[in-house]
Amino acid sequence: MKTSENFTNTTNNLHSSSEPFTLYLDDEPYILTKSAIKEQLDPGIQRSKEAFWPSHIKLLSQSGQTLILQLKDKKTVQQITVLMEPDKLQFSCNCNTMVKTVCIHVCRTLSRLLPSNSTDYFEQYSPQGIGSIAVKHPAYFDKHTSSTFITYSPKKREEDIYRFSQTELSYLTADHFKLPASTPKPIRDKEALFIILTSYRRERLPAIIPCAGLLTKDREGIKQFLPFLSGADKKDGLMTGDQHQLTSLGLAMWKLVEKLPGSFRDITAEHEEELLQLFTLWEEALPILSRQQRLYSYRLGWVRDLKRPPHKQDMYSCRISMERPVLSFVLKDCGACYHFYPELHVRGKCLSGFLHNEPFIVSLNAVYYLLSSLRDAALVELVEKQIVFKEQFAQFEQEILAPIKAHYKVNLITQKPKRK
């Protein structure tokens, strides 16, 4: 704290109380302490017995950094002016008496405004203080008026008011920024993706094949597909660990797919071992596949087409479910004939109108399902919707229905006759 030049220089010289007297402040901007008052005001005025005790102190005006306070006691009304700066306050009074430091009005006002430990009366009127802010934004603050004080507090509301509300924010320290953070991933313009590769005219069984695509600006979509297998290039680092595993499973699938016929029509007992291997690979791949953000289906014409990128217009975005459908059949009595067809349920819900474009897999609304077993896969492919005339039912029952009934549930539905 600076020593009071006013006091030392004016010990023997009096000046008018209407001339500003400077009180220097401690380190905190705008905070006037009891000790600063005690050290800088002349002892005479501090010990004065003069009968002036302001019962009312009113803030008459605040303009910029100047406050005008009105003081009233029983007999007198005075106005004191406070010029505020971060490191000093200047007081003057309109009583215009000759003083060493300040007049009795300023001295007693300070005693009233800074009772016991309170030091921040003037701080609230600093440019960043709650008083100055509250005057500009009255909707956000409550004003509390007593005879000697005006104070402000933030209104109760959902949001906290920075600096003025008791908030969690006040606990934020540099240590919180030292807590472990996520490591930012490098922003890439391309991403690995996987394709369920199918074929025209059931020439090949389905397999998984990796690919990659250039991302759109918002990184949501693919603007261009790169050649097949491009995502698997280890030096690009596009793939996560389980995507590498999915790639290995897919390449193993492809080796088997090249050897096997593409339909259960042509699959015979000699294919059984490789067929089982392929289906097992699909089952192993399913959990990883179901977690892929970017999965597409693509119908490949010739094998040689694998050497160029897939055509964008033939890439269909899809996802694959972890659920395995339960196969049953429906035999519907329609009067002159029966309708017979397979039905699939997932968690008790019928996949009504499912599409079956390739062996092993059915789809509904771009969600793919891997059938539950090789036998289910064979039956879903081979037992398509049938009309069975009643004349032929005995033969159908013996050849087809009985063996199916031995393994699967068959629901008999009788159509109600139409009302005339």
Distance CA(81)–CA(97), nearest Å, equals: 15
- Alpha carbons within 13 angstroms on the beta-carbon side of residue 215 total 13
**Is the CB of 103 or the CB of 205 nearer to Zn ion?**
103
Smaller CB separation from Zn ion, 105 or 204: 105
Cα gap 402→396, rounded to integer Å: 9
CB 7, min distance to Zn ion, A: 17
- CA dihedral angle for residue 191, residue 196, residue 197, residue 201, rounded to 10 degrees: -150
Among 41, 103, 134, 320, binds Zn ion (CB under 5 A): 103
Helix (H) or strand (E) holding 329: strand 326-333
Binding track over 17-46 against Zn ion, x by CB under 5 A: x-----------------------------
Measured from the CB atom, the residue of 101 and 198 that comes closer to Zn ion is 101
Please, which residue, 17 or 119, has the CB nearer to Zn ion? 17
Is 197 near Zn ion (CB under 5 A)?
A: no
| Minimum CB distance to Zn ion smaller for 106 or for 193 | 106
- Region of 102-110, 129-137, 219-227, 354-362 interacting with Zn ion (CB under 5 A): 102-110
Q: Which is nearer to Zn ion, 97 or 128 (CB)?
A: 97
Site for Zn ion in 247-266 (CB under 5 A): none
The span from the CA of 39 to the CA of 37, in Å, is 6
Nearer to Zn ion, 95 or 195 (CB): 95
Distance (Å, whole) CA 163 – CA 161: 6
Q: Provide the minimum distance between the beta carbon of 54 and Zn ion in the complex, in angstroms, as a whole number.
A: 11
**Could you tell me the two tokens for 239?**
């793939």
Residues comprising the chain, all counted: 420
Comparing CB distances to Zn ion, the nearer of 78 and 198 is 78
Instruction: Write the burial class of residue 296 (CB in 10 Å: 0-12 exposed, 13-18 middle, 19+ buried).
Output: buried
Which of 44/301 has CB closer to Zn ion? 44
| Interacting span for Zn ion (CB under 5 A) from 9-17, 156-164, 322-330, 346-354 | 9-17
C-beta separation of 324 from 370 below 8 A? yes
Is 133 one of the binding residues for Zn ion (CB under 5 A)? Answer: no
Q: How far apart (Å, rounded) are the C-alpha atoms in residues 386 and 34?
A: 101
- Quote the least distance from Cβ 122 to Zn ion, whole Å: 18
Using CB under 5 A, pick the residue from 95, 134, 257, 351 that binds Zn ion: 95
Residues ≥6 apart with Cβ < 8 Å to 259:
274
**Segment lying near Zn ion (by CB under 5 A), choices 101-109, 243-251, 305-313, 392-400:** 101-109
CB nearer to Zn ion: give 91 or 340. Answer: 91
Q: Which window, 103-111, 232-240, 329-337, 406-414, contacts Zn ion (CB under 5 A)?
A: 103-111
The whole-angstrom separation of Cα 142 and Cα 151 is: 8
Cβ–Cβ < 8 Å for 22, 28? no
Choices 98-106, 153-161, 200-208, 339-347; region in contact with Zn ion by CB under 5 A: 98-106
Min dist CB 12 to Zn ion, Å, is: 21
User: Which stretch, 15-23, 287-295, 307-315, 331-339, contacts Zn ion (CB under 5 A)?
Assistant: 15-23
* Residue 105 in contact with Zn ion, rule: CB under 5 A: yes
* CA atoms of 194 and 247, how far apart (whole Å): 8
Count of residues touching Zn ion (by CB under 5 A): 5
CB of 5 to Zn ion, least distance (A): 21
Minimal distance in Å, beta carbon 81 to Zn ion? 11
3-state secondary structure of 371: coil
Q: Rounded to whole angstroms, how far apart are CA atoms 183 and 186? A: 9
Q: Are 24 and 90 in contact (CB under 8 A)?
A: no
Query: What Rg value do the Cα atoms of the chain yield, rounded?
Result: 44
Going by their DSSP bridges, the two strands 295-300 and 190-199 should be labelled as: parallel
Which segment (10-18, 68-76, 292-300, 338-346) binds Zn ion by CB under 5 A?
Answer: 10-18
Residue 255 identity (one-letter amino acid):
K
Which residue among 69, 84, 93, 133 contacts Zn ion (CB under 5 A)?
A: 93
Binding site for Zn ion (CB under 5 A): 17, 93, 95, 103, 105
